[in-house]
Amino acid sequence: MQAARLRLVITGRVQGVGFRAFLAREGVRLGLTGWARNLEDGRVETEFAGAAGAVEEMRAACGRGPAHARVERVDSLAPGAGPLPSPFAVRRDA
């Protein structure tokens, strides 16, 4: 089982619709470590790691979001190097 790590920024109608809680549920379900937070500009940032298949499944979840979200774009950033929280956590806004 190969480990993978991603850091993403999601743009669209992603705040005020339960997006971070959705990501936390998905992260826990998939056995990932990581976090999600709101950014001041209305986007959501997330970083997560785990088995490659689970990470890809989480990437797909970021592209659809919860029922009331409208994802316009998902951009990749360079992942951090430090340990990630386990279980998956919702962080305070940036």
Residue of 5, 7, 13, 20 marked catalytic:
20
Q: Record the tokens describing residue 40, joined without a space.
A: 């001041």
Residue of 5, 25, 29, 38 marked catalytic:
38
70 given a catalytic annotation? no
Q: Record the tokens describing residue 1, joined without a space.
A: 């089982």
Peptide bond into 83 cis (omega under 30): no
25 given a catalytic annotation? no
- Of 94, 78, 7, residue with least CA distance to 42: 94
- Which residues carry out catalysis? 20, 38
